[in-house]
Structures are given as structure tokens and as C-alpha cells.
Structure 1
Amino acid sequence: MDTTVPAVTSKETAAALARTGTRVTYTAYEGVDHPSLPVTAPDEADAWLDARWAR
């Protein structure tokens, strides 16, 4: 299992990584601290990101 956790700064980048099953951290997250994306399925990634990404 790959333990590398890339830092990303956009929802699009995070979603692309999540769809490959990669966990991510956010470096620019509009003041919301969510250290990792604990999902792997694309629909779960979209829901997780939509619920937390500051719009």
C-alpha cells in the first residue's frame, strides 16, 4: 500500500487522485481542516469533496 500522501490545492486535483484510490491532503482549503480524503469510489469522492470544499 502506498503511504505517500500528496498535497493538493484544488477540488479537481483531489477528485482525480481520489478516483485512483489515493488519499490526499489539502494545502489550500479555505480555512477548513480535513487532513485526508478517506474514500476511494468516484461518487464517494465527489460527495466528500462537495460537502467540504468551500465555494
Structure 2
Amino acid sequence: MNLAERSSGKYKGQIKLTKRGNSLLRKHLYFTVFHLLSFNGAFQAMHAHNIEVKRMTK
């Protein structure tokens, strides 16, 4: 799993997964988080907080 940050001198970017590395690992990580957001109330609340307060993208 490779992480990358897109930033410049004027702003600090977000850290995202790159398309490098193991694609199977990325796929399982995505579906695990998707499943947690679908069925777990604690993760739903944390996700809603990140979207509203921290202005993160979905």
C-alpha cells in the first residue's frame, strides 16, 4: 500500500492511496471500509463528523 500527499508551497494536500502497489490489497481495504460504513453505527457517525466538521470528501 503506497500513500501519497499532493501539496505545494501554498497549501497542504490530502493523503490518498496511489495506484502503485498491490491492487488486491487496495481492493480489500476499500471494500472493508465500505462494509464498515454500511453496517456499523460508530463508523457512520465518524464518517459524518469527518464530512461535516473536517470538510473531507466522501
Greater RCO (Cα-Cα under 8 Å, separation 6 or more)? 1
**Greater share of residues in helix:** 2
Q: Do the structures match in fold with TM over 0.5?
A: no
Structure label with greater radius of gyration:
2
TM-score (norm 1): 0.26
TM-score (norm 2): 0.25
